[in-house]
Amino acid sequence: MSRATKNRRTPRAGARSGLLERRTSGVLLHLTSLPGPHGSGDLGAAAHRFADFLAASGQSWWQMLPVGPVGCGNSPYQALSAFAGEPLLISLERLADHGLLEAKDLEPSRDLRRGRVDYVATRRFRAARLRKAFAAFEARRRPSERQRLEAFLAENESWLPDFALFSALRGAHPPGSWTAWPEELRARAPAAMARARARFAGEIRYQQFLQLEFHRQWSELRAHCRERGVGLIGDVPIFVAHDSADVWARPGLFTVGPSGTLSSMAGVPPDYFSATGQLWGNPLYRWHVLRARGYDWWIARLRAVTRAFDVARIDHFIGFHRAWALAPGATTAERGRWVRGPGVEFFVRARRALGRLPFIAEDLGLVVPEVKALRDRLDLPGMRVLQFAFGDDPEAESYQPHNHPRRCVVYTGTHDNDTTVGWFHDVGSRRRSTRSAEQIERERRFALRYLGSDGREIHWDMIRLALMSVADTAIIPMQDLLGLGSEARMNLPGTAEGNWEWRMRDDAAAGRVGERLARLTETYGRGAEA
């Protein structure tokens, strides 16, 4: 990344507007995957250097996964809140810059791995230092900092008090879901809530401080990206985690019973990723209740996302048309039923409230014509994944670049796919593949014929194919730029362990990778000055 700082750019209207209307490209990399000495990537120096790398490489977009506080399985798609930020992403170095930590606090622990995120060890290391920073914040009692905190609390009063109390209660109870708490806390009885707020006042204050620091560091990174003409693309999981402040605070909006247990849960039927489907375990929405409230909770969620990001990808867009509902005791997702979503009515309300809809529709999987019609009626770009273009996927032809529309976003792969190198060299292992050896070989032959390639640099072949597509926007996962194999896969759908852990090396983005990406970006007219 060393050469990036000399390529500062004037912010482009295309990246800042969120309309994805110009011919641009970008990189998909989650914040936790950044290098650094403290167990996981964060909002500190490495994130700022990565923005410099993107600018120097002619990229207009940095796409990342959801940045909420992760829960079950460390998945960013199972966050403890749809509004809060993940404390792991708070940079300890930035806290030291503000006088809240000392240099000795930044010395890395031997327990922390460089190439993977060990969430248990990393949380333990960072929590001790975050609490020390909070103690320093409280002790120095600067009026400007107090005013900043009070203004932040007032601005976020619709969700922050519930989240801070929820977090304090989670810490005070044995590990597990809030549905195992005493009845008076599950039901949010007023007297019990008042006692809890008084008893855990210090812990609530600490949680508020964490969110304030996350917000400050996020604002600094976003300003840095804007200075370099790099827009941020976020991710909105359509469902929220059962074990979340959102469901605990507003159970009437979700398919949970009086005690908080699920009455039905979300998933997907058998597909490319799993022969038995995927059991997500999230509650579904009571859309009739949300409709009666003017979709206020959802609109507040989208408003928060559009304040933090220039554009956001709406995960599982199909869910606004219909969702796969499963019984709570289901062991596979094969037997479920489709339940209707709110359709265009919700987006009409959202557009009325927000003024515009800067979103990408994740229209992958079992997409029926009605979903495509909803996407097109809203004029939202859909997704085209090149790894799906050469096999037996029913939509394979639409993923082939000669069939791409301009109004779409093309990816070599997503966070749910294997890396391009891993996909190409797949041997059909039972754990990592739903394709037979015959299917894999047939797909590989077709891909090589389509690409006119011998496969020796399959990742660059696919990157070139994405960048030459007529699609307005092309996004390349960082693992593909680095030519990494399956060991760098971010997520294997349908599995609960070993996901979301990959991190890149300190020097991975230096030198030739950025230069080669910049040349291809310019060749295919996607550069910032094109």
The answer to whether the CB of 517 falls within 8 A of the CB of 57 is yes
418 assigned to active site: no
CA distance 262 to 255: 6
Distance (Å, rounded) from C-alpha 228 to C-alpha 222? Answer: 10
Residue 431: burial class (beta carbons within 10 Å; 0-12, 13-18, 19+): exposed
- Predicted confidence (pLDDT) per residue in 24-78, tens digit: 999 999 999 999 999 999 999 999 999 999 999 999 999 999 999 999 899 999 9
Query: pLDDT value at position 290?
Result: 98
Give the pLDDT band of residue 525 (cuts 50, 70, 90): very high
Name the band, by pLDDT with cuts 50, 70 and 90, for residue 251.
very high
pLDDT band at 20 (very low <50, low <70, confident <90, very high): confident
Do 84 and 210 touch, CB atoms closer than 8 A?
A: no
Is residue 292 domain-resident?
Answer: yes
The answer on pLDDT for 7 being more than 70 is no
**Residues 74-87: what's their mean pLDDT?**
97
Residue 309: inside a domain = yes
Is the residue at 279 inside a domain?
yes
Q: What is the Cα–Cα distance from 470 to 410, expressed in whole angstroms?
A: 9
Reduced DSSP (H G I as helix, E B as strand, rest coil) percent helix, strand, coil of the chain, to 5:
45, 10, 40
Identified catalytic residue from 416, 418, 426, 480: 416
2 pLDDT band, cuts 50/70/90, is very low
Q: Is residue 347 part of a domain?
A: yes
**Residue 122 phi/psi, 5° resolution?**
-65, -45
Residue 135, in any domain of the structure: no
pLDDT at 270: 84
Catalytic residue among 271, 362, 418, 426: 362
Could you tell me the pTM of the whole model? 0.94
- Specify whether the backbone of 62 is left (phi greater than 0), alpha (psi in -120 to 50) or beta: beta
Decide if 502 contacts 415 (C-beta within 8 A).
no
Residue 425 pLDDT: 94
d(CA 349, CA 486): 42
What is the share, in percent, of the chain residues with pLDDT greater than 70? Answer: 94
Q: Residue 512: which of 481, 484, 488, 485 has the closest Cα?
A: 481
The question of whether 183 is a catalytic residue gets the answer no
Range from 7-16, 172-181, 234-243 carrying the lowest mean pLDDT: 7-16
Q: Name the range with the highest mean pLDDT among 16-20, 273-277, 330-334, 462-466.
A: 462-466
Q: What is the Cα–Cα distance from 443 to 426, expressed in whole angstroms?
A: 11
Q: How many residues does the chain have?
A: 530
Pair 136, 199: CB distance under 8 Å? no
Average pLDDT value for residue range 239-265: 96
Look at residue 275 in the predicted model and tell me its pLDDT: 80
Q: Which residues make Cβ contacts (< 8 Å) with residue 181, sequence separation at least 6?
A: 169, 173
pLDDT on residue 496 = 83
- pLDDT computed for residue 277 by the predictor: 87
Q: 314 pLDDT exceeds 70? A: yes
For residue 339, tell me if it sits in a domain: yes
Question: Does 510 score more than 80 pLDDT?
Answer: no
Banded model confidence at residue 225, pLDDT cuts 50, 70, 90: very high
pLDDT at 529: 58
Q: Note the pLDDT of residue 15.
A: 40
pLDDT band at residue 110 using 50, 70 and 90 as cut-offs: confident
Q: Is 362 a catalytic residue?
A: yes
Q: 233: which 2 tokens?
A: 């693309």
- Tens digits of residue pLDDT in 329-359: 899 999 999 999 999 999 999 999 999 899 9
Residue 217 located in a structural domain: no
Sorting pLDDT into bands at 50, 70 and 90, what band is 14?
very low
- Residue-level pLDDT at 141: 81
Q: How many domains does the chain have?
A: 1
pLDDT over 90 (residue 10): no
**pLDDT number for residue 113:** 80
Buried b (16+ CB within 10 A) or exposed e, 149-162: beebeeebeebbbb
Compute CA distances 413 → 203, 304, 406, 424, 481, whole Å: 41, 27, 18, 12, 11
pLDDT at 11: 41
Q: Residue 495: is its pLDDT beyond 90?
A: no
- What residues contact residue 492 under an 8 Å CB cut-off, 6+ apart? 431, 432, 498, 499
Q: Which residues make beta-bridge pairs with 268?
A: 278
Asked whether 432 and 418 are in contact (CB, 8 A), the reply is: yes
pLDDT category of residue 431 using cuts at 50, 70 and 90: low
Highest mean pLDDT among 141-145, 196-200, 265-269: 196-200
Q: Whole-number mean pLDDT of the chain? A: 93
CA distances from 476 to 27, 300, 488 (A): 5, 30, 14
Helices marked H in 173-237 = 183-186, 190-199, 201-227
DSSP assigned state of 25: E
16 pLDDT above the threshold of 60? no
Whether the pLDDT of residue 12 is over 90: the answer is: no
Distance between CA atoms of residues 257 and 259, nearest Å: 6
> In terms of residue numbers, what domain contains 347?
250-378
Q: What is the mean pLDDT of residues 290-310?
A: 97
| CA gap 317, 238 in Å, rounded | 7
Rounded distance between C-alpha atoms, residue 48 and residue 50, angstroms:
5
Determine, yes or no, domain membership for 291: yes
